[in-house]
Amino acid sequence: MNDTTRPNPQPVDSAAMPRFGDIATFMRLPLLRDPAAVDVALVGVPWDGGTTNRAGARHGPREIRNMSSLVRRVHHATKVSPYDIARCADLGDAPVNPVDVADALKRIEAFFARIHAAGALPLAAGGDHLITLPIFRAITRNRPVGMVHFDAHTDTWDSYFGGFKYTHGTPFRRAIEEGLLDPKRTIQIGIRGSLYRADDMDWGLAQGIRVVTIEEYFKMGPERVAAEARRVVGNGPVYVSFDVDGLDPVYAPGTGTPEIGGYSTAEAQAMLRGLRGLDLVGGDVVEVSPPFDPSGNTAIVGATMMFEILCLLAEAAAQRKGRA
Ligand code: MN
Ligand code: MN
């Protein structure tokens, strides 16, 4: 039972300590270790052991924390103030193993299972996109989720390098095979980039995934694509996964697998705001890779998209409490 008499955790007051000061946590929130104390748990996953090409996303959480100090406390368009409607905190980083993929996936799953058991909604900062698989294993057991997936890539390839099944190009193939993700309630937005083979996308399409290629995206625009996402995911539980390489690399160059010709940051924000009111159970921002991000801009983008998703999750948590 939540203690409703205690005030919600609040970001450091920027009138008392400038936003460039003190210890960097996500959104300057308190660092708490007890998931039972929060409704929304912001978590770093500093791991890129699933990366097939340019590595570096393991450094994402630290830089996203740093740049998230630029984010203020109220959403400028929706006026949502997540810290007033839900208990939000930085829960630290999931423990990882940089030299063993299977062990890393186990450690990440165990960390998110604790958060899920406490009833908190996770919001993760990667890390490469394979981190979403152990998060799904932790939070979707016996209840497959739908997904709104922003990405240049479908991440539904089968294997790499002659049979290796666990990479950042395969998480959603594994999640569907394991019954964690409902392909018929999944939409992928921004898909583009050269393929290995002309039939690369056929497996996902045959499962029933709604694939919105970048060509279709530009014909529809962000509002209609958000409406399509709502139609696809319906009223059931849904997860938002935001790979920054879905954005055009002029907006997010600091990522391992950039693909030109994507949507803008403003368009992505418009789509995320179009997801208000869904039954959201978690989200992530992945593939921010600081070694390719000398300006820090991609980390700012990652932090700001995290805030957009945080506002959605705080509203979802508040709605759920209202229903309970
Ligand atoms: Mn991805
Ligand atoms: Mn991608």
Cis bond upstream, residue 236 (ω within 30): no
Report which bound ligand comes closest to the CA of 246.
2
Q: What integer is the mean pLDDT of 204-209?
A: 98
Ligand 1: distance of its center to the CA of 323 in Å? 34
Ligand 1: distance of its center to the CA of 222 in Å? 20
Mean pLDDT of the chain: 96
pLDDT digits (tens, 9 = 90+) for 251-278: 999 999 999 999 999 999 999 999 999 9
- pTM of this structure: 0.97
CA atoms within 13 A on the CB side of 277: 8
- Residue 324: pLDDT band with limits 50, 70, 90: low
pLDDT digits (tens, 9 = 90+) for 18-50: 999 999 999 999 999 999 999 999 999 999 999
Q: What is the CATH number of domain 26-323?
A: 3.40.800.10
Q: What pLDDT sits at residue 322?
A: 86
Ligand 1: distance of its center to the CA of 82 in Å? 27
Ligand 1: distance of its center to the CA of 188 in Å? 10
Report the sign of the C-alpha dihedral through residues 198, 202, 204, 208, in that order: positive
Q: What integer is the mean pLDDT of 51-61?
A: 97
Cβ–Cβ under 8 Å, residues 108 and 131: yes
Ligand 2: distance of its center to the CA of 287 in Å? 7
Residue 2 has pLDDT above 80, yes or no: no
Report which bound ligand comes closest to the CA of 156.
1
Ligand 1: distance of its center to the CA of 193 in Å? 12
Report which bound ligand comes closest to the CA of 247.
2
Ligand 2: distance of its center to the CA of 149 in Å? 10
Report which bound ligand comes closest to the CA of 53.
2
